[in-house]
């Protein structure tokens, strides 16, 4: 059996543990590690889960503050970290700022975690 990068695979390795597209390259590894680092914070993970549960947004900072139980400055801080990691997009209309999940980035994380 030959792996996707040309080496011989150990026949005893369970196929369910392999990534469908082979091992990650250096750039993808760094990028995904940065995203996972951002998600390692419970408040950020909660905010992302609220957005996902509400159809991936858009949701205002005020709505996220109410639903999360966090203060507005705390929510804004964590949303900025999620945006910087490429997981959220920000839109401003007048004084209202909304955030929505960047579906392509979120799908890539889900795909990696599901090993599909």
**CATH number for the domain whose boundaries are 25-114:** 1.10.10.10
| CA–CA gap between residue 30 and residue 34 (Å, rounded) | 6
- Ranges of each domain in the chain: 25-114
The pLDDT of residue 70 is 97
Higher-pLDDT residue of 99 and 25 is: 99
Alpha helix (H) residue ranges in the chain: 26-39, 42-53, 61-68, 72-84, 103-114
Average pLDDT over residues 32-61: 91
């Amino acid at each position: 059996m030959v792996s996707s990068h040309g080496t011989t695979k150990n026949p005893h390795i369970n196929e369910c543990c392999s990534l469908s597209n082979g091992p990650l390259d250096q750039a993808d590894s760094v990028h995904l590690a940065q995203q996972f680092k951002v998600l390692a914070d419970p408040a950020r993970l909660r905010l992302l889960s609220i957005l996902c549960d509400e159809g991936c947004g858009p949701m205002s900072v005020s709505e996220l503050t109410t639903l999360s139980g966090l203060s507005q400055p705390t929510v804004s801080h964590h949303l900025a970290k999620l945006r910087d990691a490429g997981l959220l997009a920000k839109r401003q209309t007048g004084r209202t700022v909304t955030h929505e999940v960047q579906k392509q980035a979120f799908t890539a994380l889900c795909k990696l975690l599901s090993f599909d």
